[in-house]
Amino acid sequence: MTQQDNVWRRIAAGIGRPLLAIALALLIGLVIISIAGEDPIESYRALIGGAFVGRSNIENTLVRSIPVIASGLAVAVAFACGMFNMGVEGQLYLGAFAAAWIGFSIKGVPPLLHVLLAIGLSAAVGAAWAYLPAIARIKWGTSEIVTTMMLNYVAQYFTSYLVSFPFKEPGDLQQTPAIFSSAELYELSAASRLHLGLLLVVVFAVIIAFLLKRTALGYEIRMTGLSPSVSRASGISTDRTAIRAMLISGAIGGIAGAIEILGVHHRFINNFSPGYGWDGLAVSLLAKGNPIGILLSGIFYGGLQSGANIMEFATDVPKQLIDSLRAIIILFVAADFTGLKLLRAKPKLPRGGGKSGCKEVKTCGRSV
Amino acid sequence: MASEYALEMRGITKVFGSVVANEDVNFKVRRGEVHALVGENGAGKSTLMKILFGLYQPDAGEVFLNGKRVVVRDPSDAIKLNIGMVHQHFMLVPSFTVAQNMILGVEPTKGVKLDLAEAEERIRELSNACGFTIDPKARIRDCPVGVQQRVEIMKALYRGADLLILDEPTSVLTPDEAEELFEIMRTLTRQGKTIIFITHKLREVMATAQHVTVLRKGRTVTTVSIDETCEEDLALHMVGRKVELYSGKDSVKPGEAIVKVDNLWAADQYGRWRLRDIGFQVRAGEIVGIAGVAGNGQDELVDVLMGLKKPSRGRIQIDGQDVTGKTSNVVRSLGVGYIPEDRYERSMIRDASVAENMLLGFEHDERFNGFGLKLDTIRKWADELVHEFDVQPPLLDIPARSLSGGNAQRAVMAREFALSKRVIIACQPSHGLDIGSIDFVHKQLLDRRRKGYAIILISSDLEEMLYLADTIAVMYKGEIISSFPNRDVDEKRMGLLMAGVRDAEPEEEAR
Amino acid sequence: MAGAFNLSLLVAAIRLTTPILLAALGGLFTQQANVLNIALEGMMLSGAFTAVAVSFFTHSWVMAILASVLVGLIMAWILGAFVVKFKALNVIAGMAVNLFASGFTAFLLRTIWTNKSEMTQGLVGIPDVVIPGLCNVPVLGELLSGYSFLVYISIVLVFVAQFVLYKTKLGLRIRAVGETPQAAASLGVDPDRIRLISILISGALCGLAGAHLSLGALCMFTENMTAGRGFMAMAVIFFGDADPYKVAIGAFLFGLAEAISMRLQSVGLPSHFIIMIPYVFTVVSLIVVSINKMKAQTRKSSES
């Protein structure tokens, strides 16, 4: 429910803080690089250039960002309902394996159908994996934060077993046989392996945005997240809504894994994820759960990753510095500095009649 | 001694935003007495006590302890000044023992180790002095509520309290336990302690206190000696006198019964009966007022009617359909509008926009669903409602929390009236509102009455009740002890009923 | 033959238990204060790196241990400031601390010892302790003697933690704040201060855990060498209901599972299900605990 004249102000309010956090983090990075005796300007030029300048760099960035965006969307749906899905990483692994299994074990399926089958099963597996923590939380009040997190390890070890023993391709590597080409996602660029998954995550972002903002279910999910007690009194079945949100979240988590397998690796490889699920959490936080914002912050995140490689290559600054800066960004975005006197003393910005900010405010249901 | 008064609060004023919680309140307590502080919910009792205990700072006014002016900045100041408070909701750690709870914050130690033995010894001495025994090693979660309360009292005494504030101490007790508490209170005053006893149970005031102060709408109504008053007087002081007579309304001929409640029983989470054999009917075009001092089962009745709490026994019919034990969305889908007392717990989401709040309960409405929610249609509809009920500012995108109390209530009414087909349940609908909004709320309710709605009004404001209701049912301890047409009422009878004194004359049949 | 296998398995399990145990002993204080601390991993990793760096430059394992504890405290202080003062969600802030530790230790490693992904040379390790007299007793000697110094410290710390938690002022306050913060606040105990203290304790012990991992068990530092042990510690805390003795048992079970799975791996058998068990068990026990809590509540309400 957006008024046209408010759109730009809202966008400004929504990205102002993350931008500030990013600027602060880069400033801290600048100091660290200088102390390490390197040239910060040169390093940053390499970082940003490596992320967003030139076709192959941009493509690399996009490839990196695809699974992060999908994971971010998964986190966002649960978060909108006041739940933490810390288990995206596990859902991603299981979904990835399910997709790979469909891909290498069924032969002679028409291409589109093959991909749909793989994605469908991965969504089902991801949702099933999220169902147990969801039920435990709703029925018995078990913290979904801890259960989803613990189940990540179970999922990771389980897929690791599958790929090391029953479905291991002969040879030294812990990987499954390659999927049939009918299950591969269309490759947009051979050099960078940029694939159709990019389009898919954009479509998913739009679908999730539509779901949350323009459907009755999405409305109920958001209202339940904002105030369970009012929602219940208003006739929303909050338990069922919360479980649905977790199921959707888990399904997207599974799909995130499927896209990475069908698009990039074309087989399941043991421990293939460098923490996409966790990056998704960060990206979702940066975008405050806004699906379109997740697209942007996901690309930014992917850019940091691929740019860091270029920076390391061009200068002597190790790429891990960028991981530290990402952490600092998250800290600053998560913090509420309004309690600081220094900031409070600043003159308040003039407020127009249509004070925005309502949509930006996300309470997270509880302090844990 | 400096003064015969242990405590004097003079000219206390406290304002929260646009709500005046205390206005020039004067409150004097003699040393060694039990002084009752009574008033309805929201009358300003707890604000006053929180000021005394340092949880709030007054905007104006002074506090004197034993004749000396003091400033209480926070609870630890209060504790240092020998003020102790027993909160209504116990401040106890359930898994701790009595002794551990007692010493928290003032732990005696031997080296680095806690010295529990010393604490236990002192607890025995203290409890003996108060005339009861308590096992310092018992775990709080295993103790009955009455014992937990004694632990709370002893916690204050352990810290050297001379002035004890008991905040609605009997609300969680059985009658026997309450009797024992009163005995302890007498023992303590004999030892020179001063007790402020907050309650709205007037019988208890008469049984324990030497003086009583009545607050209403943030102001001191009166302070009287217990010998010079009676329960009926106090009840009327609390709820205000009847000023407007039964005349402002059109006469509407009630139609068929729409809400039928039979033999309804419900218990709270501790298993005590909060509703006992409730039965009444509400007809089309009729406002049935549920009167009574707060805490006599009104909240539970509403919860059960709205499907937010399951009754243990009995039957509820709305518009011919049995909704007993059905969930709130079933009840609401029958067109029951609900204006709750606690807006932000029940009907308005602070951080959602006004437009989103207007949609609560309508999200599955055919008008608003096509391929997804029809946002334009919803906005147009919400805009109409906002203007019809004159919500200021009439903006749809601001968060609900930025609306003032009166405007938030208008928004709630706009939505609930739009949702309701034949039934409205309104709880304290004018509580905390300005005069203009109260007038608006009353007009709207009467308008719906004229249109043939069955309306249940729950209010502790006697003026409002007498102005709006056609039939009044008085609840006392979970029972409807009497119900009668509005015209048959007089102040005295109302006061007696609210104090739990049943009519001597044969009760009129509850219709 | 089989006996020797079992004995050496036990010894391996004890060695693998120590880092998890130390981190879990720290984390149980935050758990008791009802602060979900997912930063154990990061604080531990920081400690591990610091120990190696300080050992390299000062050639003193004592200094290395002290520095690790200090760095653990600093990380904890940052976490505490963001969680307690700036009201960041502790899950998010904790995740950021983990990410920061992982990135920054790798960054420093590569900056200080140009382009290396591990650091093994020029380190003074924490010495093993050989218990005189006992070391020559056949079975007991092998089982009880010859571990790294911090292994023994960790066992002592189990009892210290038990004492602090249940017999001291601080422990009483931590538990009170964890269970009913408003009760503590009403008695002048500042819940935020207590939470911060509990986070600092967890930081110090995680620093110790890290020092043991890099200088006690292995004498090297590699990137992300904690490899999820901080999260194992978290699981152990939930498993043991934040009680020091139960946590010690839980940590040993994790250590044992790790030892068994390493054995299985070395002979080419699937070890995945063994290493999974503690996590599955944690999830199951969490659910059982909450079901019991719920039952207790309904029972209480139906009794009266």
Rg (C-alpha) for chain A, rounded Å, is: 21
Tokens of C261: 């799975």
User: How would CATH label the architecture of B254-335+454-511?
Assistant: 3-Layer(aba) Sandwich (3.40)
Q: Greater confidence, C139 or A220?
A: A220
Nearest CA in chain B to A219: B363
Pairwise CB contact (< 8 Å): A140 & C102: no
pLDDT exceeds 70 at position A352: no
CB B495 within 8 A of CB B328: no
CB B286 within 8 A of CB B272: no
The domain ranges of chain A are 13-336
Summary mean pLDDT of chain B: 87
User: With an 8 Å Cβ cutoff, is B174 touching chain C?
Assistant: no
Distance from C22 to chain A by nearest Cα, in Å? 20
pLDDT tens-digit series, residues B112-152 = 899 989 889 989 988 888 888 889 999 998 888 888 999 99
CB A156 within 8 A of CB A245: no
Fold of B1-82+162-240: Rossmann fold (3.40.50)
**What is d(CA B141, CA A158) in angstroms, rounded to the nearest whole number?**
42
Distance from A214 to chain B by nearest Cα, in Å? 5
Residues of C in Cβ contact (< 8 Å) with A151:
279, 283
Nearest CA in chain C to B79: C187
Q: Greater confidence, C247 or B76?
A: C247
Nearest CA in chain C to B54: C186
Task: Identify the helix (H) or strand (E) that includes residue B9.
Answer: strand B5-16
Pairwise CB contact (< 8 Å): A282 & C103: no
pLDDT tens-digit series, residues C16-38 = 999 999 999 999 999 999 999 99
Pairwise CB contact (< 8 Å): C183 & B95: no
Same fold, B1-82+162-240 and B254-335+454-511: yes
pLDDT exceeds 80 at position B42: no
Say which DSSP state A266 is in.
Answer: S
Summary mean pLDDT of chain C: 88
* Residue range A13-336, CATH number: 1.10.3470
**What is d(CA C143, CA C7) in angstroms, rounded to the nearest whole number?**
7
Nearest CA in chain C to A318: C107
Position C5 confidence tier, pLDDT thresholds 50, 70, 90: low
CB B351 within 8 A of CB A363: yes
C228: left (phi over 0), alpha (psi -120 to 50) or beta: left
**Neighbouring C-alpha atoms within 13 Å toward the C-beta of C172:** 27
Pairwise CB contact (< 8 Å): C95 & A330: yes
- pLDDT of B233 reads 82
Pairwise CB contact (< 8 Å): C167 & B79: no
CB C206 within 8 A of CB C19: no
Angle, helices A88-105 vs A55-80, to 10°: value is 120
Determine which of A133-142, B43-52, C123-132 has the lowest per-residue pLDDT on average.
C123-132
* Residue range C2-303, CATH number: 1.10.3470
Chain A residues 70-109 with CB within 8 Å of chain C: 84, 86
pLDDT exceeds 90 at position B434: no
Considering only CA atoms, which of B490, B464, B485 is closest in space to residue B473? B485
pTM of the predicted model as reported, rounded to 2 decimal places: 0.84
How, if at all, do strands B454-458 and B423-427 pair? parallel
- pLDDT of A193 reads 87
Tokens of C291: 């079901």
Considering only CA atoms, which of A121, A104, A84, A233 is closest in space to residue A176? A104
Within 10 angstroms of residue B505's Cβ, the number of other Cβ atoms is 8
Task: Identify the helix (H) or strand (E) that includes residue A45.
Answer: helix A40-52
- pLDDT of B435 reads 67
Residues composing chain B: 511
**What is d(CA A31, CA C114) in angstroms, rounded to the nearest whole number?**
19
The domain ranges of chain C are 2-303
Nearest CA in chain C to A312: C115
Tell me which residue in A214, A356, A363 faces B373 most closely, judged by beta carbons. Answer: A214
pLDDT cut 90: percent of chain C above it: 53
Enumerate residues 6+ apart whose C-beta is below 8 A from A160.
A174, A270, A271, C272
Q: What is the mean pLDDT of residues B222-239?
A: 85
Position B503 confidence tier, pLDDT thresholds 50, 70, 90: low
**What is d(CA B71, CA C41) in angstroms, rounded to the nearest whole number?**
48
- CA pseudo-torsion sign B35, B41, B43, B45: positive
Tell me which residue in A220, A229, A363 faces B351 most closely, judged by beta carbons. Answer: A363
Tokens of B168: 């609605």
Adjacent-strand bridge partners of B223: B213
ipTM confidence score:
0.86
Q: What is the mean pLDDT of residues C156-161?
A: 97
User: With an 8 Å Cβ cutoff, is C292 touching chain B?
Assistant: no
- Spatial strand order of the sheet with B313-318 comes to B273-283, B257-267, B313-318, B321-322
The domain ranges of chain B are 1-82+162-240, 89-160, 254-335+454-511
Position A338 confidence tier, pLDDT thresholds 50, 70, 90: low
pLDDT tens-digit series, residues A40-93 = 999 999 999 999 998 999 999 999 999 999 999 999 999 999 999 999 999 999
pLDDT exceeds 60 at position B264: yes
Task: Identify the helix (H) or strand (E) that includes residue B11.
Answer: strand B5-16
